[in-house]
Amino acid sequence: MSREDDATMSREDDATMNREDDATMNREDDAMMNREDDATMNREDHCQQSEITPPSSFTHDPLTPSLTGEKSTEQLFNIIDDIRNYRTECDTPWLAFKLKPCDYTALESRILADGFLNRKLHFDYFPSIEQFVLRMPSTIHEGFGIAVVIDIVQHLGKIAHGNSPSAKFARDICCIGSSTITFNNPDYGRHDPDASFHHSDAKYPGVVMEVAWSQKARALPRLADEYILRSKGNIRVVIGFKFEYLHKHDKTATLSIWKAQQQIKDRGVELVAKQTVTDQVFRNADGTPNESPGSGLRLALEEFAPKALSKQFNDLSASIFIPAQELCRFLDNAERRTLKMKEEGLIEPTPAQLTLRPRSSTPPDEIHEEDKRAWQDEERRQAERSMRDDASYCPSSPSE
């Protein structure tokens, strides 16, 4: 082969290698740019891009994923204003929103800092499904729940008489209403149950009660899991009552119970929220009570506290039972009271010349602007923390 042929082949080989190297470098550059773009988008999505989808019952347009920054803050405050001023078009007591964890953190900070909202607002947050829920209970909802609570408290009061172990145990149990339940891990969210019963020496309430219909009824199994599993079984019983809101044709009302149970599995012991009572009817579709013997709510006294505490008392054999007929009566009374309040209730006649003098109040716009500035400061702090976290991130070196 001549020297000219050798030179030609060498040049062709070099050109081929250069093209391959350029292609490889281009692919690597594209991949790196894509990774950087993805990382940037993820950071923006996590800390700026809100996904808050309020129900149609609010007066303002829902916030879409494309809205960020100050617009996001403004939309959140519109929602808060709707809650504060009761500007809703429906009576549902369970309003669910899609809300990212970072937006929930900012929202919770503002709620806790607002005296009115902190006292009056009841809500839940499910981090696993990024769902924020507003609880807005109706008169029926609260009236029925209070009647059940009073009956349970009266039973506990009877057991508390005397000097038996059961009496001493029962004396330290009280209803703490809808007090917020939080867990050791902040990523587990929070819940405001309709009612709960707590022993003075326990961290968590032993028994939690929820009254539900429509959307909330479908959420009861998840709520039971949250309470029992997040508390590591220290919340031992979750009671769920379910009925439709003033339904004219179907008055069915049911009771369900979930309990903390440990099950032996191949990999060890597993804690589960076991449903021990499933939709037991206490009021029939025609409004009559379930007359079946034994139907109703039954609770063992020792279940009102964690096992570690109950074991300190000998012979906690007492129990509480509310028959279905009583539960039906509680619900009938709550519904009747609600109808009276809405339509037929007796009121004092108003004198023809009576005038009303309202008290003066702080202009709402000034309060709103002050809250808005505080919210924006909180959002900026959230963004700065995120930027510091990103700056401190150092990727590991590739293996050789």
Extents of the domains making up the chain: 24-136, 138-342
Give the contacts of 352 (CB within 8 A, at least 6 positions apart): none
Please tell me the predicted confidence (pLDDT) of residue 255.
97
Q: Amino acid letter at 43?
A: R
Sorting pLDDT into bands at 50, 70 and 90, what band is 56? very low
Tell me which architecture the domain covering 138-342 has in CATH. Answer: Alpha-Beta Complex (3.90)
Q: Amino acid letter at 208?
A: V
In the predicted structure, residue 102 carries a pLDDT above the cut 60: yes
Kindly state the greatest CA–CA separation across the chain.
123
In this structure, are residues 215 and 252 in contact, taking their beta carbons and an 8 Å threshold? no
In the predicted structure, residue 73 carries a pLDDT above the cut 50: no
- The DSSP line for 124-159 is EEEGGGTEEEEE---HHHHHHHHHHHHHHHHHHHHH
Sorting pLDDT into bands at 50, 70 and 90, what band is 130? confident
In angstroms, the CA 397 to CA 400 distance is: 9
User: Region 98-112: what's the mean pLDDT?
Assistant: 83
In whole numbers, what is the pLDDT of the chain averaged over residues?
A: 77
Beta-bridged to residue 94, according to DSSP, are 135
Overall residue count recorded for the chain in this entry: 400
- Of the ranges 55-59, 61-65, 254-258, the best mean pLDDT one: 254-258
Beta-sheet strand order (sheet of 122-126): 94-98, 131-135, 122-126, 190-191, 181-182
User: How many other CB atoms sit within 10 Å of the CB of residue 216?
Assistant: 24
Task: Please state the φ and ψ torsions of residue 261, each to the nearest 5 degrees.
Answer: -135, 145
User: Region 213-222: what's the mean pLDDT?
Assistant: 86
In this structure, are residues 124 and 135 in contact, taking their beta carbons and an 8 Å threshold? yes
Sorting pLDDT into bands at 50, 70 and 90, what band is 281? very high
**With helix as H, strand as E and coil as C, how does 234-259 read?**
CCCEEEEEEECCCCCCCCCEEEEEEE
Tokens of 371: 């809250």
In angstroms, the CA 157 to CA 197 distance is: 13
Tokens of 208: 């939690």
Please tell me the predicted confidence (pLDDT) of residue 40.
39
In angstroms, the CA 142 to CA 152 distance is: 15
In the predicted structure, residue 225 carries a pLDDT above the cut 90: yes
Give the ranges where the chain is alpha helix by DSSP (H): 3-47, 69-84, 101-113, 115-120, 139-159, 165-171, 214-230, 307-310, 324-339, 364-392
β-strands 268-283, 253-265: how paired?
antiparallel
Handedness of CA 61, 67, 68, 70 (dihedral sign): negative
The better pLDDT of the pair 277, 72 is held by 277
In angstroms, the CA 206 to CA 210 distance is: 14
Sorting pLDDT into bands at 50, 70 and 90, what band is 359? confident
Sorting pLDDT into bands at 50, 70 and 90, what band is 57? very low
Please tell me the predicted confidence (pLDDT) of residue 361.
63
In angstroms, the CA 213 to CA 137 distance is: 11
In angstroms, the CA 69 to CA 243 distance is: 42
Q: Amino acid letter at 27?
A: R
